[in-house]
């Protein structure tokens, strides 16, 4: 993306894995930095879709080429292409979002660029759940990954993490926890359908995978006694064949599938359903993570049906904003859906309390301030910490 002659690009966020529309990276972090720091900000991606400029934030999206086919090629050739592109831009700060780009971050650091590592997931814990890694090797590989991340973290100028649990693995003096809480102005329909007039529909928005409860949500919807019950499903299947697996279930006839939806489309969906579903399985990082989708449903004024994890129970029971279920039990999920349909006044009150909790605590504004505070010494030439 061309820039004004002589004007240096101050901040580059880059990723070879995440889509250019990633909510955490583009909608929240780069937009907040562009608005709050008054410097030029760009997002470098690798998707072959070409350049663009975000009309709202002014953030330039730079396409460094088509995605490399396969994980190994992406980690080698894709990473090399990304390194050359970011190095040529000569930003004051380079902020990357994929653990496989740690070598790129180290190389940029050696070239004199300040580097921030954004840790979205607990990678060592993820490795422990990778079935394609032989069982006897998972723990040593996870330990090696944790050690590599820790050593690299010592070299970088700042670490941004998505959860307090992840923060414990990095130096406290340079680490800031920036959680994926929703933006207050988002996901609230300008003219929402009054709650009592909404059809008996439920929503799930996000990646559609087995461990995120896709099968259980479809099966539960099919078991709800209300014949007009529908599941508004928006997102992408992973793997792609998972869509065929879900379509073979009896409950699929009650699913209205939207594919990937824009933020305005998501807002419209959430403004015309009775509740949001977030029934992730007790695997990977989920039980210890703050569930982004749950907070988005709360921000939209919806009651939630959520997995009964201890951390999530504190949130849902603390706010009085929904029902907790065994995420691997379709009958329990269906029972919760039926309860909300049978008690619309209580369900609407849950949604109001959830929205109030987001306004009070679980929103993006204070997270953006923490991100800007991390950047202030980096942009001024002082070391963070």
Write down the pLDDT at residue 132.
Answer: 67
* Structural domain contains residue 265: yes
Write down the pLDDT at residue 129.
Answer: 65
Identify which has the larger pLDDT, 286 or 301.
301
Identify which has the larger pLDDT, 170 or 381.
170
- The count of domains in the chain is 2
* Structural domain contains residue 236: yes
CA distances from 265 to 58, 75, 182, 271 (A): 22, 33, 16, 10
Write down the pLDDT at residue 39.
Answer: 87
Same domain, 42 and 163: yes
Cβ-Cβ contacts under 8 Å for 212 (sequence gap 6 or more) = 206, 279, 280, 281
| pLDDT-above-90 percentage for the chain | 72
Identify which has the larger pLDDT, 219 or 56.
219
d(CA 350, CA 318): 11
* Structural domain contains residue 201: yes
d(CA 70, CA 372): 35
**174 bridge partner residues:** none
Least confident of 234-243, 324-333, 342-351: 234-243
Mean pLDDT of 333-356: 98
Same domain, 118 and 231: no
Q: What is the pTM of this model?
A: 0.83
CATH number, domain of 160, equals 3.40.50.2000
Peptide bond into 239 cis (omega under 30): yes
Mean pLDDT of 128-143: 74
* Structural domain contains residue 4: no
Residue 198, number of CB atoms within 10 A of its CB:
17
Domain that holds residue 91: 11-181+364-380
Same domain, 162 and 275: no
Predicted confidence band of residue 6 (pLDDT cuts 50, 70, 90): very low
Same domain, 123 and 235: no
* Structural domain contains residue 15: yes
Same domain, 294 and 273: yes
* Structural domain contains residue 220: yes
């Amino acid at each position: 993306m061309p820039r004004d002659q002589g004007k240096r690009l101050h901040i580059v966020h880059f990723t070879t894995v995440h889509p250019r529309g990633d909510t955490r990276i583009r909608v929240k972090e780069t937009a907040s930095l562009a608005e709050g720091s008054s410097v030029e900000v760009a997002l470098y991606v690798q998707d072959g879709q070409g350049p663009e400029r975000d009309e709202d934030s002014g953030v330039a999206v730079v396409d460094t080429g088509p995605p490399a086919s396969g994980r190994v090629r992406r980690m080698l050739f894709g990473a090399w292409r990304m390194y050359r592109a970011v190095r040529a831009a000569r930003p004051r700060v380079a902020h990357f979002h994929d653990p496989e780009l740690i070598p790129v971050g180290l190389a940029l650091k050696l070239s004199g660029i300040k580097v921030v590592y954004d840790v979205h997931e607990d990678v060592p814990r993820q490795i422990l759940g990778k079935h394609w890694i032989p069982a006897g090797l998972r723990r040593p590989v996870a330990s090696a990954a944790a050690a590599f991340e820790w050593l690299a973290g010592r070299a970088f100028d700042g670490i941004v993490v998505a959860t307090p649990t992840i923060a414990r693995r990095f130096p406290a003096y340079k680490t800031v926890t920036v959680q994926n809480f929703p933006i207050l102005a988002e996901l609230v329909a300008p003219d929402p359908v009054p709650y009592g007039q909404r059809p008996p529909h439920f929503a799930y928005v996000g990646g559609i995978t087995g461990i995120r409860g896709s099968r259980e949500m479809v099966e539960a919807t099919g078991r709800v006694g209300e014949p007009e019950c529908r599941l508004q499903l928006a997102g992408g299947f992973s793997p792609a064949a998972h869509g065929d697996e879900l379509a073979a279930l009896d409950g699929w006839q009650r699913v209205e599938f939207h594919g990937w939806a824009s933020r305005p489309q998501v807002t419209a969906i959430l403004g015309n359903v009775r509740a949001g579903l977030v029934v992730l399985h007790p695997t990977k990082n989920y039980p210890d993570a703050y569930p982004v989708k749950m907070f988005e449903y709360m921000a939209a004024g919806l009651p939630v049906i959520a997995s009964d994890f201890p951390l999530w129970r504190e949130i849902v029971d603390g706010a009085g904003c929904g029902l907790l279920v065994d995420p691997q039990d379709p009958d329990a999920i269906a029972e919760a859906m039926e309860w909300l349909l049978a008690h619309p006044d209580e369900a609407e009150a849950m949604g109001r309390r959830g929205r109030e909790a987001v306004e009070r605590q679980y929103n993006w504004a204070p997270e953006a301030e923490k991100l800007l505070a991390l950047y202030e010494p980096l942009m001024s030439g002082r070391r963070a910490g």
